[in-house]
A = this chain, B = another copy of it.
Amino acid sequence: MEVEKKLEEMGYPLIDPQSPAGVYVPAHQIGDLVFTSGQGSRRQGGKDYRGHLGNELTIEEGYECARRSALNCLSAIKAVIGDLDKVEKIVKVLGFVNSAPGFDQQPKVMNGCSELLEEIFGEKGRHARSAIGVNELPHRTPVEIEMIVKVKE
């Protein structure tokens, strides 16, 4: 449980995966790949951010939201594989940023996810990534992220 210990030391204990808002699952293993559902930025305790980057939220707040979405992806992955030490490689991150008209700094927001993954997993955490702006996200979450990770068999 090295990865989870590190997360706790960093002050980011994992929270339970959110119950899906429908008949789907938080994550899913096929062969040695795990695909997560899109994860919003909710957290247990503390402020729950909602709204759009560019008018309602600062880039710093968006960065924090992307980090939380990444943590919620890890939480979903843990629910499937049991122990995050089994993660061999973060393959792909697809991140959607709730963006007011004129906001084009999605990469700075998504760095909240990418930098967390590197901090936790080191070289294994280096992923391919897309950062996309959208006009609306479920329940006004500022960031929604889905991941594909490779796990040890």
Q: By CB atoms of chain B within 10 A, which of A27, A104, A126 has the most?
A: A104
Name the B residues within 8 Å of A7 (CB-CB).
none
Q: By CB atoms of chain B within 10 A, which of A37, A110, A130, A150 has the most?
A: A130
Number of copies of this chain that the complex holds:
3
Structural contact, B28 and A101, CB atoms closer than 8 A: no
Structural contact, A35 and B128, CB atoms closer than 8 A: yes
Structural contact, A23 and B111, CB atoms closer than 8 A: yes
Contact of A126 among B21, B25, B105 (CB under 8 A): B25
* Complex-state Cα separation, A106 to B24, whole angstroms: 14
Q: By CB atoms of chain B within 10 A, which of A28, A89, A129 has the most?
A: A129
Report if A38 contacts B (CB, 8 A).
Answer: yes
